[in-house]
Amino acid sequence: MKRGLLAEFETPEAMLLAIAELRSRGYRRLDAFTPYPIHGVDAALGLGRSPLTWIVLPFAIAGAAGGYLVQWHNNAYAYPLNVGGRPAHAAPAFVPITFEMMVLASALAGFVVMLFLTRLPELWSPLFDVPGFERATIDRFWIGIDARDPALIRPLAERDLTDLGALTVAWAGEARS
Amino acid sequence: MTFRIPVYRGGRAIVTRSVGLALVGAALLVVGAFVDRERLFYAYLAAYTYAVTTVVGALLFLMICHAMSATWPVAVRRLAEAIVGALPLLAVLFIPLLFGLDALYGEWLHPESIDDEHVRAVVVHKQPYLNLPFFLIRTGIYFAVWLAFGALLRRGSLRGDASPALASSGRLRTISIAGLPLVALTLSFASFDWLMSLAPTWVSTMFPVYVFAGGFVAAIALLTVLAFAAERAGFLPGLRTSHYYALGRLLLAFTIFWAYAAFFQFMLIWIANKPEEVEFYLLRSHGPWGTATLVLVLARFVIPFAILLNYGIKRRPAWLSAVALWIVVAHYLDMHWLVVPEAPGARAPLHWLDLAALLAVVGPCVAFTALRLRGKPLAPINDPALPAAFRYESL
């Protein structure tokens, strides 16, 4: 999120409770900022599984197929050599490189697609201007409600968050026009 | 979160049925002794190594969990201990093999009967290791080690059910750390002695890894099936999706490990193409054994791997148990594939004696395990890690 309402909580339990309560009140574009992974936060936010695995799968298949094809082309088609009487199309000998090419293609694709999906690297975000937000990397647990959340009506949401035990509530990004 | 773990009282039906099947199997084996005595022992050895590698695999799993002080496996630890409980009976079930040593290991027991001079020289060269007294001593050592560590861990854990102080001492961890190398080495040497020496001129340093990996996967698969059965029967409340997921991940990882060991053993032998090494694969690549090899690769690796890759299936207990049951069966195919092709004379891969031997070996083990489990809770109730083990969550 780039704009929205941020709320600071002292403990992960309080934050999880607040997320559950906010979701039951109809907020859908929630986010959490915590110094370490919190058990149950994915489920509380209603996050699904990352699509990364399915995106990487075709790259893995392509890497394996490409690796095998290159070996077949070089060793069996373009420049066949007799190595101790073994067949030019030596499938068992092709397997290790095929496997390694699959690993390489999936690892690179996984890394690049992950950067794309998470919009990293992000050197600066309007959220960082909120005073005290840096403690999200130290000892505080923050909830964000995205400005695009249709349920977000700022004064009501601010009251909701304060009632749920937020230490501070602050707006990040440009104020809503 | 605490769960009351009920004491296991059932098993009457399991015991009567498996004893019944075992008696049928034993009767068929007696008949088989008059039909094809040689084939009988190959069938028995395949069934026996199937059972023993699975049980020792479970012992290794148990020891690894203790040694690492792993939390979540505590929830299914008693089931692993139950599998390990079959060891004393397996030691007894080795005795019939003693009558078939000539049929199975005749080549190195009587090298003077080998016609080919070169082969004879190779086998005679191995006599300081491959001779009957030393073979029996080694087998005795294997069982001594397995029985000792199996009993120590099982009894230690059961004692903890009575007194919390014993359950929280680190004694079982120390025992496991001391025992792991011993059990791993004895399993490796048992695979040399009982399986590899069927073809006394054949050598492969990857072979024990292959047998080890197969037994370990089979043990985790059996553990998954038992966990599902125990949970369904209400003996293990509190087992969660995450526990099945953890078991499913291990199944996937060690299915891949088995395939790694199997493939690299094959690839290195194929690429070196040395006569005394390739005989193993030549024997298994023609005619009906060629089909058997293909079936093994599909059943043991391709199918379980493709299914276990899926995230959702690993979190569905019924589905995962079905795959695990498949792997348990596939491990038998693997042991059959290792043992039976070595039978002299071109014999068909499948024989009714295989089924008879399987019943005669697995039946008593199931009954014995169920009997030993009676009157015990299906989780180490006093283990300090048990509440955390039931809370285990993994996304």
For A71-120, the DSSP string reads HHIIIIIIS---STT--SS-HHHHHHHHHHHHHHHHHHHHHHHHHHHHT-
Residues B16-59 have pLDDT tens digits of 999 999 999 999 999 999 999 999 999 999 999 999 999 999 99
Best of A39, A94, A97, A106 to disrupt the B interface (most B CBs within 10 Å) is A39
- pLDDT grade, residue A177 (50/70/90)? very low
Chain A residues near residue B395 by CB distance under 8 angstroms: 42
Q: Is residue A45 part of a domain?
A: yes
Chain A residues near residue B393 by CB distance under 8 angstroms: 39-40
Question: What percent of chain A is modeled with pLDDT above 70?
Answer: 99
Q: Which of A103, A118, A133 is the last residue of a domain?
A: A118
Chain B residue closest in CA terms to A39: B393
Cα→Cα distances B191→B204, B259, B279, B358, Å: 11, 18, 18, 19
**pLDDT computed for residue B352 by the predictor:** 94
A84 with B393: Cβ contact below 8 A: no
A96 with B267: Cβ contact below 8 A: yes
For residue B169, pLDDT beyond 90: no
More confident residue, A175 or A90: A90
A38 φ, ψ to 5°? -105, 130
For residue A173, pLDDT beyond 90: no
CB of A53 within 8 Å of a chain B CB? The answer is yes
**A60 and A98, same domain (yes or no):** yes
Distance from CA of B218 to the nearest CA of A (A): 25
**A44 and A58, same domain (yes or no):** no
**A67 and A108, same domain (yes or no):** yes
Range of the domain at B310: 12-385
Distance from CA of A93 to the nearest CA of B (A): 7
Q: Is residue B394 part of a domain?
A: no
Size of interface A-B (CB pairs under 8 A): 17
CB of A42 within 8 Å of a chain B CB? The answer is yes
Q: Is residue B392 part of a domain?
A: no
Question: What percent of chain B is modeled with pLDDT above 90?
Answer: 81
Averaged confidence pLDDT in chain B? 93
Q: Is residue A177 part of a domain?
A: no
**A114 and A75, same domain (yes or no):** yes
Contact A169, A162 (CB under 8 A): yes
Burial of B77 (0-12, 13-18, 19+ CB in 10 A): buried
Nearest to B318 by CA among B225, B220, B219: B225
Chain B residues near residue A102 by CB distance under 8 angstroms: none
Residues B195-241 have pLDDT tens digits of 999 999 999 999 999 999 999 999 999 999 999 999 998 888 889 99
Question: CA B136, CA B142: separation in Å to the nearest integer?
Answer: 10
Report, as an integer, the average pLDDT of B312-328.
96
Q: Is residue A66 part of a domain?
A: yes
- pLDDT grade, residue B2 (50/70/90)? low
Distance from CA of B43 to the nearest CA of A (A): 31
Residues B176-196 have pLDDT tens digits of 999 999 999 999 999 999 999
Chain B residues near residue A103 by CB distance under 8 angstroms: none
Chain B residues with CB within 8 Å of chain A CB = 263, 266-267, 270-271, 273, 311, 393, 395
B393: nearest CB among A39, A84, A95: A39
**A113 and A132, same domain (yes or no):** no
Q: Is residue B160 part of a domain?
A: yes
CB of A93 within 8 Å of a chain B CB? The answer is yes
Structure tokens at B165: 């102080």
Averaged confidence pLDDT in chain A? 92
For residue A176, pLDDT beyond 70: no
A92: nearest CB among B266, B393, B395: B266
For residue B269, pLDDT beyond 70: yes
**A60 and A45, same domain (yes or no):** no
Residues B129-163 have pLDDT tens digits of 999 999 999 999 999 999 999 999 999 999 988 88
**A32 and A80, same domain (yes or no):** no
For residue B167, pLDDT beyond 70: yes
Chain A residue closest in CA terms to B274: A84
More confident residue, A159 or B347: A159
Q: Is residue B393 part of a domain?
A: no
Q: Is residue A23 part of a domain?
A: yes
More confident residue, B27 or B165: B27
**A64 and A110, same domain (yes or no):** yes
Range of the domain at A143: 4-49+125-172
Identify the three-state secondary structure at position B134.
helix
Domain count for chain B? 1
Residues A41-90 have pLDDT tens digits of 988 998 888 899 999 999 999 999 999 999 999 999 999 988 888 899 99
Q: Is residue B377 part of a domain?
A: yes
Chain B residue closest in CA terms to A99: B260
CA B390 to chain centre: 27
Cα→Cα distances B15→B6, B88, B231, B292, B374, Å: 20, 17, 19, 33, 11
B271: nearest CB among A40, A49, A93: A93
Domain count for chain A? 2
Residues 6+ apart with CB under 8 A from B31: none
Q: Is residue B4 part of a domain?
A: no
ipTM confidence: 0.83
**pLDDT computed for residue B9 by the predictor:** 83
Q: Which of A99, A118, A137 is the last residue of a domain?
A: A118
A42: nearest CB among B263, B267, B395: B395
**pLDDT computed for residue B238 by the predictor:** 84
Report, as an integer, the average pLDDT of B246-270.
96
Contact B46, B340 (CB under 8 A): yes
Q: pTM for the complete prediction?
A: 0.91
**A113 and A154, same domain (yes or no):** no
Contact B326, B276 (CB under 8 A): no
Q: Is residue B56 part of a domain?
A: yes
B393 with A40: Cβ contact below 8 A: yes
Chain B residue closest in CA terms to A87: B271
**pLDDT computed for residue B145 by the predictor:** 97
**A59 and A112, same domain (yes or no):** yes
**A41 and A75, same domain (yes or no):** no
Q: Is residue B6 part of a domain?
A: no
**A68 and A85, same domain (yes or no):** yes
